[in-house]
């Protein structure tokens, strides 16, 4: 009987030790799991993924999004990490640039502080609206097709009263998308980008600019048309007010502007770019043709920069009627009052260019 009890006691003790070992082993596994829980999913993968977390997404949903984008090993892991550290309520919606090489702490810190990823878009002076569409579309997630559709048919008149004076056609926004470098959150829609560019115009053409335009007896749209021609005709900022004076002087005496830049704009709408125009080009039928139509073209021919707008508002006081690039080929202009002097300047420029 005693031996039987001893056997049972030994078996119970043995069983207890086995259970204790299993528990210890399991505890060790749990400890190792928790220790490794916050580790990066793929430490050697330094690629980045644009991840969108929509408004109202709970921690579990965020975990699913991170797992689906390959940022974390599993949704369950990130959910558990968030619960352990009580972070779920701090996560914020937005567009983030995240990498699988990030630890869970790094990921959690980013989406807890709302440090959204931003993109920079640089639009040079003199770009047309289609040039701008091409530039903007190079950023991830932005559709060139949709951007152009909004440019040509978007409803912006209600928010931007200055467009009421612009040409009422598919090129209504031409000239009003301000060249600059913009920082926008990743995921910003095409419509929001266009509005940001139009907002910049409101800042430039302020009450002072409006008063100056009124003094010149020109509408805001006419000033923007003149500025766009200045931008395309003259790269040298110092010469821009003088080019502006030539435009105003010609308009004053009803002399055709005959600006090659307006013809280049017409050709550009068809995807054609030319260094030198032919006579037939100047005969093209278009409301933008300043060779065959009197006065200003139908609308701006590009989006001018601040200096060109300033020149259009403050033209130099000259009697010049002609200009051509200087034969020094330094980007500056040669101005003249007399047509024969202009022809001499023109010949000198082409001779210097062709020999250069």
- Placement of tokens 């006081």 in the chain: 317
Q: At what angle do helices 75-84 and 104-113 cross, to 10 degrees?
A: 70
- Per-residue pLDDT at 38 exceeds 50: yes
Element (H, E) at 323: strand 322-325
Question: CB under 8 Å to 76, separation ≥6 — which residues?
Answer: 63
In this predicted model, what pLDDT tens digit does every residue of 139-172 receive, in sequence order? 767 899 999 999 998 889 888 999 987 866 789 9
Within a 10 A sphere around the Cβ of 6, how many other Cβ atoms? 10
Bridge-partner residues for 48, per DSSP? none
DSSP at 2? H
pLDDT attached to residue 257? 98
Q: What is the DSSP string of 45-56?
A: ----EEEEE-TT
- Percentage of residues in the chain with pLDDT exceeding 90? 67
Instruction: Dump pLDDT digits (tens) for 223-243.
Output: 999 999 999 999 899 999 999
Is pLDDT at 28 greater than 50 in this prediction?
Answer: no
Q: Delimit the domains of the chain by residue range.
A: 11-115, 119-203, 211-355
CB atoms within 10 A of CB 79: 21
Per-residue tokens: 265: 């704009």
CATH superfamily of this structure's domain 11-115: Endolytic murein transglycosylase (3.30.1490.480)
Q: Per-residue pLDDT for 249 more than 80?
A: yes
pTM: 0.77
Cβ partners under 8 Å of residue 166, min gap 6: 172, 173, 174, 175, 176, 221, 224, 299
Q: Are 334 and 326 in contact (CB under 8 A)?
A: yes
Say how far apart CA 337 and CA 281 lie, in whole Å: 26
Look up residue 236 and give its DSSP letter: -
Q: Is residue 301 classed as helix, strand or coil in its secondary structure?
A: coil
- Bridge partner residues of 122 (DSSP): 181
Q: Identify the residue whose tokens are 């430039």.
A: 204
| pLDDT surpasses 90 at 313 | yes
Band of residue 12 on the pLDDT scale cut at 50, 70, 90: low
According to DSSP, the residues that pair with 182 across neighbouring strands are 121
Question: In angstroms, rounded to a whole number, what is the distance separating the alpha carbons of residues 190 and 325?
Answer: 38
pLDDT of res. 117: 80
End-to-end CA distance of the chain: 119
Between 85 and 240, name the one with better pLDDT: 240
């Amino acid at each position: 009987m005693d031996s039987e009890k001893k056997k049972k006691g030994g078996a119970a003790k043995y069983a207890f030790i086995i259970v204790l070992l299993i528990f210890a082993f399991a505890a060790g596994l749990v400890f190792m799991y928790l220790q490794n829980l916050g580790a990066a999913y793929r430490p050697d993968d330094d690629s980045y993924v644009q991840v969108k977390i929509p408004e109202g997404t709970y921690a579990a949903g965020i975990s699913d999004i991170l797992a689906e984008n390959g940022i974390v090993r599993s949704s369950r892991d990130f959910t558990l990490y968030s619960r352990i550290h009580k972070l779920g309520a701090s996560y914020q919606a937005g567009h983030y640039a995240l990498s699988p090489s990030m630890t869970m702490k790094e990921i959690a810190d980013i989406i807890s502080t709302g440090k959204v990823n931003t993109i920079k878009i640089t639009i040079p002076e003199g770009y047309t609206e289609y040039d701008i569409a091409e530039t903007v579309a190079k950023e991830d997630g932005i559709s060139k097709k949709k951007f152009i559709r909004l440019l040509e048919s978007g409803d912006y008149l209600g928010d931007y009263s200055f467009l009421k004076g612009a040409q009422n056609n598919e090129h209504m926004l031409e000239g009003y998308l301000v060249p600059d470098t913009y920082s926008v959150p990743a995921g910003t829609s095409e419509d929001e980008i266009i509005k940001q560019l139009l907002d910049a115009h409101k800042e430039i053409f302020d009450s002072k600019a409006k008063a100056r335009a009124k003094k010149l007896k020109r509408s805001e749209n006419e000033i923007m048309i003149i500025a766009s021609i200045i931008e395309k005709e003259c790269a040298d900022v110092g010469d821009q007010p003088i080019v502006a004076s030539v435009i105003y002087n010609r308009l004053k005496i009803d002399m055709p502007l005959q600006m090659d830049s307006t013809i280049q704009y017409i050709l550009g709408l068809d995807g054609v770019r030319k260094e030198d125009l032919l006579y037939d080009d100047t005969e093209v039928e278009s409301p933008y043709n300043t060779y065959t139509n009197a006065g200003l073209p139908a609308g701006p021919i590009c989006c001018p920069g601040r200096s060109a707008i300033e020149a259009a508002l403050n033209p130099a006081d000259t009697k010049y009627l002609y200009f051509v690039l200087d034969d020094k080929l330094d980007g500056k202009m040669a101005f003249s009052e007399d047509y024969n002097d202009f022809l001499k300047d023109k010949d000198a420029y082409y001779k210097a260019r062709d020999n250069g």
